[in-house]
Amino acid sequence: MNELAITVIGRDRPGIVADVAEVLARLGANLTDSTMTRLRGHFAMTLICTGPAAAEVEAALAPLAAEGQLLATVRAVTPDGEVAPVGEPYVMAVHGSDRMGIVAAMTRVLVDAGGNVTDLSTRLAGSLYVVLAEVELPAGVADGLTDRLHRTAGELGVEVTLRPADPDLL
């Protein structure tokens, strides 16, 4: 069984998810992990599936990209198996006036504390910039990390919160 990483990007339109999912189902590919979103009128999807060879999936997705509206890429990946969390789950939220470097600075603080960003999304609404990140942190570092996050946020002119994640909601 092949494990594949597939990306689909392009101008958003109704039916992209259904079209891709139907192609994969017809091939007998099992969609195991996915994330899909719309970013300023553009659709972006990344998924992992198991099933046929990459070339067969690429050929089957080609008609969806034929009009030049979508770009689909397929590549074989090595299965990692089940990966146990390496730390405790937290959610970091950042909001404030938009400026360059917010994501870079705030995620650097997390990484320097041994954290791992497992999911991240950003939104710009007018001049308000919002970052939501799910992170895994080593046991016992959250209290000291909060102080460093607040210092960095102050330098950027934004607000930050770090709270334990409810695993049932993730």
Query: In the Cβ-directed half-sphere of 35, how many Cα atoms lie within 13 Å?
Result: 6
Q: Do 5 and 33 form a contact (C-beta atoms < 8 A)?
A: no
What is d(CA 12, CA 14) in angstroms, rounded to the nearest whole number?
7
Q: Which of 80-89, 128-137, 149-158 has the lowest mean pLDDT?
A: 80-89
Q: Which residue has the higher pLDDT, 84 or 63?
A: 63
Q: Which parts of 102-164 fold into alpha helices (H)?
A: 102-112, 142-156
Q: Do 106 and 149 form a contact (C-beta atoms < 8 A)?
A: yes
Averaged pLDDT, 44-64: 94
pLDDT band of residue 36 (cuts 50, 70, 90) is very high
Give the per-residue pLDDT at 166. 81
Per-residue pLDDT tens over the stretch 72-119: 999 999 877 666 667 899 999 999 999 999 999 999 999 999 999 999
Give the per-residue pLDDT at 84. 67
